[in-house]
Amino acid sequence: MKKFLVITIGILVLSTVCYFTFLYNATYSEGIRSGELIKFSNKGMVFKTYEGELSQGISGAQIFSFSVLDSDEKVIKDLKALEGHYVKLTYIERYKTFPWWGDSNYFITGIKEENSPFKIK
């Protein structure tokens, strides 16, 4: 009985460790999205996370919501500076997220300012 209990607990612990390791390291997709950066904020009651929105259409018809990890200080600084501008965001999509990472499964890894295709010259 003791041996069965030890093996069962060991399998449960190993399964939990493997699950969280997978969530931490695995990405579902990578890509680039461009649009007008309309919102970037630090929000949350228990866990403060950086969240933002990118408008990908005219009049905000298509909104891309994203999160930024606290460790990406350069990205946070650039997003704050470029709010309201047309930008190109490099992102990774994760299968799931932890509450202390952010609300979205999309995490921004880079940002670059672009010329807006909607500007009349």
Q: What is the pLDDT of residue 31?
A: 93
Domains held by the chain: number: 1
Residue 77 lies in a domain: yes
Question: Does a structural domain hold residue 19?
Answer: no
Which structural domain range is residue 42 located in? 27-113
* CA pair distance 108, 7, nearest whole angstrom: 41
For residue 77, the model assigns a pLDDT of 93
Decide: helix, strand or coil at residue 93.
strand
Residue 28 token pair? 């579902």
Q: Is residue 22 part of a domain?
A: no
- Is 5 part of any domain? no
End-to-end CA distance of the chain: 79
Residue 66, domain member (yes or no)? yes
Cα torsion at 80, 82, 86, 90 (round to 10°)? -60
93 located within any domain: yes
Does a structural domain hold residue 2?
no
Residues 55-66 have pLDDT tens digits of 887 666 788 899
We report the CATH number of the domain holding residue 98 as 2.40.50.140
**Residue for token digits 């994203």?**
66
- Residue pair 64/35 in contact by the 8 Å Cβ criterion: yes
In a domain, 88, yes or no: yes
- Tell me the pLDDT tens digit for each residue of 37-84: 988 998 888 888 999 999 887 666 788 899 998 888 999 999 999 988
pTM of this prediction exceeds 0.85: no
